[in-house]
Amino acid sequence: MSWSLKIARLFGINVYIHWTFLILLGWIFLSSLGSGQNMQEALLGVAFILTLFACVVLHEYGHALTARRFGVPTRRITLLPIGGVASLEKMPEKPREELLVAIAGPAVNVVIALLLFILMQVAGITFPTEQLEDPSQISLGNAFIPNLLAVNIILVLFNLIPAFPMDGGRVLRALLSMKYNRAKATAIAAQIGQFLAIGFVFLGFMYDFWLIFIGLFIFLGASGESRYETTRHLLTDLKVSDVLMHQFTEMDAWSPISEAIDTLLDGQEKDFIVTEQGDLIGTISRDDILRGLQEMGPAERIKRIVNTDWVRLAPDMELNEAYDLMNQRNLSICPVYSPEGDLLGVLNTENILEAIMIERARGGQG
């Protein structure tokens, strides 16, 4: 994710903080001062937010480390003002594994809440029960430990709402997948999530306007997850060789950008592989070409704008696997090589989208 600053690396996973998170801290600090709190109280409020997000990081590590047990790596963890995101390479497809990965995050918050409760009992700290009845009563910095306990409980309850993109939605799909195939389980879970989202929106109009945003967030998340899983289901029986493009254009690394512009205008292709002395060195897209033209001019060599972060695909690779890989690496085109190392063709995202449309049309026959 762009505009993020790396702040730590634990268990082989980088932790990043998005720049907007710093705005949140500044807003908390200035709001505290503006409400009449002194400097110490305002700093305590900021410390509370930092501690809360440390709990969020632990929550995300719960997902990440559990996924690692099932062979699924995590690219990074990013902190945003609305929470944290553990960027798993993929979700495990076995229902039991997805269930454990999904439940691991909230389970971490349960453990934190229990530890804080034990600490309160030992230290004789009383718990302001009105904060569970009305979360708006939580005052940052005051009653630090009870507030932290209350927020962890809220995190558990919120994350276990049975709707995508919350953990509860994935728990629900994992349970449904024990009876149905993954696509049908996702569709059912998404429909339940959308029903709950509509309920949140109605409640928002009657009680709290923030519930409207939560409802929209859930509705969009459920819709997105359903579309993604439907796409994967349509590609289930296809391999890379089934949609391989044998006709494609190679660009020479030492040709000028103006030549790439001419190629763009002369045909329908938008993504190209780039070679140097016969060896493939990378790829370029239409956006790369236009950006290079704007920043460097038409006389600059294509080599200056080539994307060297590319991967080679095998013809017998599952198309779903290739689709996921290209999405994860933000690649629009990949070369396809035979086991002997011969370049057979290319696969691009347009080809995959056309395959999806064809499979959807086939599914609609009869």
- The answer to whether 59 is annotated as binding is yes
| Residue 14 three-state SS | strand
Question: Chain centroid to CA 89: how far?
Answer: 9
Answer yes or no: 295 catalytic. Answer: no
**From 60, 97, 225, 229, active-site residue:** 60
Check whether 18 is labelled as a binding-site residue: no
Look up residue 139 and give its amino acid: S
List Cβ neighbours of 102 (8 Å cut-off, separation of 6 or more).
63, 167, 168, 170, 171, 174
246 is known to lie in a ligand binding site: no
CA–CA dist 186, 79 (Å, integer): 27
**Paired residues of 9 in beta bridges:** 14
Q: How far apart are CA 344 and CA 337, in angstroms?
A: 5
CA 25 vs CA 37, 170, 230: distances in Å: 16, 31, 39
What CA–CA distance (Å, rounded) separates 186 from 234? Answer: 14
Residue numbers belonging to the annotated binding site for Zn(2+)? 59, 63, 167
Give the residue numbers marked as catalytic.
Answer: 60
